[in-house]
A and B are shown apart, each in its own frame.
Chain A
């Protein structure tokens, strides 16, 4: 079975400061990992994904995430937060070894609030 934990319901950060949104996962094999962002009354938007290779993945809007296999983590980061980054962020995992089914498991989401 696979699972995702986003330990923080809410993250508060001042504009211009670095931000981190945490995600840890559990899969039986090797993971595919994803980050999505959801703005109010809108669907999820893809930010970035880890498939294989370099542990540091760069994505949209200046976001990046670091895959850490030993800590089973995939934390989302940005060097300098913007007020417009305020949204709900979801981490998702899929087991690479699942064969023909591609059911991803999403975390509960973390609300990011960037203060001016």
Chain B
């Protein structure tokens, strides 16, 4: 079974530029998560999708971050414009969670973003 795919693996941009990350979850997984992991900290959930709908985006900085999962499969996370404090690893995870279930999340390798 193929794992969660993410691209690019690394990205360096200057502040105020825009950037986009892509994630393709494990086939058949209805739930997709985007996390931000700042160096020295645990992952922080940014947004959770169930199929193509948003379940929770309460921790997503909506003034600059956006995410979509239009067809309920792959997803894109965008930052516009980027700030220095956005430097982090962005992790995508998926699970076969159904409502009320207990999920085991499978993580991709992450995209390491450096904002200069």
Contact = CB atoms under 8 A, between A and B. Distances in A.
A101 B55 contact: yes
Contact of A32 (B44, B59, B102, B108): B102
A90 interface: yes
24 contacts: A32-B102, A34-B104, A41-B109, A42-B109, A42-B110, A43-B107, A43-B108, A44-B93, A45-B107, A46-B104, A90-B43, A92-B42, A100-B55, A101-B55, A101-B56, A101-B58, A103-B45, A103-B48, A103-B58, A104-B45, A105-B42, A106-B43, A106-B44, A109-B42
Contact of B43 (A44, A45, A49, A102): A44
Given A102-B55, A103-B58, A108-B41, 11 more contacts: A4-B42, A36-B107, A44-B43, A46-B106, A101-B55, A101-B58, A102-B48, A102-B56, A108-B40, A109-B40, A109-B42
Contacts, number: 58
